[in-house]
Every structure is written in structure tokens, then in C-alpha cells.
Amino acid sequence: MLAAGQGKRMRSALPKVLHPIAGRPMLEHVLDTVRLLNPAGIHVVVGHQAEEVKEGIRSGPGASGGELSWVVQEERKGTAHAVGQTLPLLDDAAVVLVTYGDVPLVSEQTLQECARLASTGGVAIITAEFDDPAELGRILRNECGGIQAIVEYADADPDQRQIREINSGILAANGALLKSLLAHIEPHNAQGEYYLTDLVGLAVRNNESVCGLVCRDPEEVIGVNDRAQLAQVERILQRRIAARLMAEGVTIADPERLDIRGDVVAGEDCFIDVNVVLGGNVRLGRGVRIGPGSVIVDAELGDGVVVHPHTVVEGLKAASGCELGPFARIRPGTELGESVKIGNFVETKKAKIGSGTKASHLTYLGDATLGEGCNVGAGTVTCNYDGVDKHQTTIGDRVFVGTNSTLVAPLEIGTDSYVAAGSTITARVDDKNLAVGRARQRNISGWTRPDQRERNKNENEQED
């Protein structure tokens, strides 16, 4: 797998093959596909920012795992030179498949067929036909339709540039044959590089068969060389993911306005509205409804959960029948029992909330455990942080917390108790108690507003 290029046209400090597609480095997409072939070994050729590429695959989101052989191309002298760096690692009797880290949409079936063709002898190459082949290498065929050579765009004459069949760069050959042909490639071209494409012409001159496998879906072999192509490939992959979900019984309001950046499993009759982003590992039960503009990451939503518009969810486990939002923020470590309601402008973090409990608006519940059937009024805050440590708030079943209450942790509030609106609670509340933590109200007669005081002072000074 060739992944040594600098990717100058990306204009980025990030190595090209680490640019994300559907939330994962494009190189990982190719690695995952290649692994489906159960290869004897995978050798990844890296060069520019080699250490960053290796680290990005080891630690990146959704990292593929598995042992890889990393081969460093110290001097980048072309694709044939890059493949040549792996020759000491290749078995002469093996079928060697050459793929690219910046061609992330190629399918298992296409690669499998290419390898199968090469196993019968000769060289197998994957081609495709594009209405606009741009600056891709062109396939040259003879009068009988046989492949004669591949010409790079920079070296092609005007007639050759009119050819619509292009070289994907992906090829396969017996290890011994590959080594023999690579040894005879010379840098006789405009770039002064060792082209892997010259291997085809050498094979023809040596009377080796060259079989062209025309890819049924040209989108599979689109390479990523700049940001525009990155966006193009992203949208193609998103359409494929959306099509799979719809085939499994999910209604998607507009597949062009859905972004999935991870692994999503959804039950039947789910509905996903526009401009939704799903990331990480997301599991949706049957009949889940997700409103427009919502972001859901690493979450498990039970049957019938409703996510209202513009809600951000991360690290949530919610039982069936819950309602979230609109404009709620659910942070990691939140667990919701059945039919919990988290309303607008409510934030939770490491909160375990029992069945039937409601926090309908304007509330923060952090490092808190709430029992079943509680009602949390607007403006309630669990004060969990003292500037050094986080502290826990524990609330029993059927507790009523009045509007604008401040619960200072560590704190326990017993079952069937009440907290009066506007209270600051700092001590334990026993079962079935009413807690009132308000300052006594004072009405000050004749009070003067500060701005009026300043005006009166100035007037007095002028009189003096």
C-alpha cells in the first residue's frame, strides 16, 4: 500500500492519507478493505511525515488495529521506486496487490477480482472510464483491444489525452514477475521518476499477459489529491452509508444532509431529520426520532427515544421512551432510565437519572444520581466542583426540586422530599422533608438607586 506522498495540493500540515473521510483517516478505510482479503501481509510504504502517519493509524479514531509492516521510502523517486522498497519482504510465489492510501473507496470485490486475475499469470490492472479523466494516466490499447501501455498525463500527446479509460494505479502480479519487471524500469519521462505504470509496457514486450479489469463503479477508484476531491469522496461515502441505513428500514429526510462519522446501527422505523451528525459508535433502537441539527456521538438510544432539534449528545445510554431537547447538551457518562425527559437548555454530565424523572428546562445536573419520578425545576444547578475536586449529589425517588434551586455537593436529598423554590441547599435533606434555604426577605423603605445617588451627590456639590 503506497502512502508516501506529500500531498502538496492538500495545502495542509496533516499528512494526506490521514485526512478524515466519514470521521476516519482515509488510509484506514483502505486498510479495512484490504484486511477483508485475509492477506499474508500488509506492507505500507510511507515517506513524507512517516512517523505522523504511523502514529495516526495507531491512535486515530476507529483505528483498524492489527499488525502492519511499515516500509519507509527515504527518497521519493516515484511509484515504482516506492513498490521496490517492499521487494525484500515479498514472497516470489505470492500474488502481490498494489493499492493506494489515497484511493479510499475501492471495494473488497474489486480487489479480490484483481488478485484472482493475477493468480492465473501475468499482470492485472484496474481501470475505469470517466467522462472527464482530468490528469489521470491513460490506458493505451491495440487494435484488438488488448492493453499495450499506460501513459501518464504529463507525457501524453493531445490524442492520448482524449482517451477516457484511465489507470487506477491498482494492480496485481506474481511476486517473482513483479520483481523482474521492476528491475528494468527506467526514469525516462518528464518527471524523471520511476513510474509503476511502465511495468505494463515492459510486461507486453516480454510477452506477459496484461489483463485490464474495468471497474463497474468508477467512483471506487477516485483518488484524493486536493480538498475538492476530499469533499467529493466524503459525499459519495455518506450516500453509501445512508443507502444502507434506508435499506435496513430507516427513514432519512435528506441523504445529502446527513453525516455519519463512525459506526451506526439502527432499528426499523427510525427517522433522521436534516443536518444530523452521528459519530463514533451509535446504536439506535426501533422508532428513534432525531430532530434537525442534532449531533449524537458514542450513544445508545433505546426504542422510541425522541431527540428534539439542535441537541448535542455524547456518551449517553438512554432507555426507551426518553425525550431529549430541544437545545439540550448530554455529556459523557449520562445514563437515563425509561421515559426520562431532558428538556431545552438542560445539561447533564455523569448523571444517572431514574425512570420518569423530568428536568424540563434550564438546568445543570453534573455528578448526580436521581431516583425515579423526580421533577427538577428550571434554573436548578448541582454545584459539583469546589475548585479542586468534583462531588456527588444523590437524590431519592419522587423528589420535587423547586425552580432556581442551588444544590451544593456533596449532598443527599431523601425520597419523597421537597426543595422550596429559590433555595440553596448545603446539608442533607431527610425523607419526606421540605427543605427551605432562602435568606429572609427584607423590604427597605426609601431606597435610592445607585445612579440616582451619584446624581444627587453631583447636584449637592454644585450647590456648595
- Segment 366-369 long-range contacts (CB within 8 Å, at least 24 positions apart): 366/331, 366/390, 367/391, 367/392, 367/393, 367/409, 368/392, 368/393, 368/394, 368/395, 368/409, 369/393, 369/394, 369/395
Would you state the pLDDT for residue 367?
A: 98
Nearest to 266 by CA among 280, 244, 286: 286
List Cβ neighbours of 463 (8 Å cut-off, separation of 6 or more): none
The Cα 22–Cα 393 span in angstroms is 38
Under a CB-based contact definition with an 8 Å cutoff, are residues 344 and 361 in contact? Answer: yes
Query: Which residue range forms the structural domain that includes residue 25?
Result: 2-221
- Between the alpha carbon of residue 455 and those of residues 295, 445, 449, 460, the distances in Å are 52, 20, 10, 9
Q: Do 208 and 279 share a structural domain? A: no
pLDDT digit of tens for each residue in the chain (464 aa)?
A: 999 988 899 999 999 999 999 999 999 999 999 999 999 999 999 999 999 999 999 766 655 555 789 999 998 899 999 999 999 999 999 999 999 999 999 999 999 999 999 999 999 999 999 998 888 889 999 887 889 888 888 889 999 999 999 999 999 999 999 999 999 999 987 788 999 989 998 999 999 999 999 999 999 999 999 999 999 999 999 999 999 999 999 999 999 999 999 999 999 999 999 999 999 999 999 999 999 999 999 999 999 999 999 999 999 999 999 999 999 999 999 999 999 999 999 999 999 999 999 999 999 999 999 999 999 999 999 999 999 999 999 999 999 999 999 999 999 999 999 999 999 999 999 999 999 999 888 898 988 887 776 777 777 766 66
CATH number at residue 345: 2.160.10.10
Any domain includes 80: yes
Place of cell 466519514: 22
Residue in the structure block whose three cell numbers are 432519512: 252
Q: What is the pTM of this model?
A: 0.87
Strands (E), 285-405: 289-290, 295-301, 306-307, 312-314, 316-318, 323-324, 329-330, 334-336, 341-353, 358-370, 375-376, 381-383, 393-395, 400-401
- Is residue 444 in some structural domain? no
Has residue 21 been placed in a domain?
A: yes
- 463 by DSSP, 3-state: which? helix
Residue 451 lies in a domain: no
Which position among 19, 43, 81, 361 bears the catalytic label? 361
HSE at residue 380, side-chain half, CA atoms within 13 A, is: 28
Structure confidence at residue 449 (pLDDT): 80
DSSP class of 440: P
Is 361 marked active-site?
yes
Confidence (pLDDT) at 144: 78
User: Phi, psi (5° rounding) for residue 454?
Assistant: -65, -40
Residue 374 lies in a domain: yes
Number of domains the chain is built from:
2
pLDDT of residue 97: 97
- If asked whether residues 335 and 211 sit together in one domain, one would say no
Give CA–CA dist 431/413, Å, rounded.
Answer: 7
To the nearest 10°, the Cα dihedral for 222, 225, 231, 232?
-20
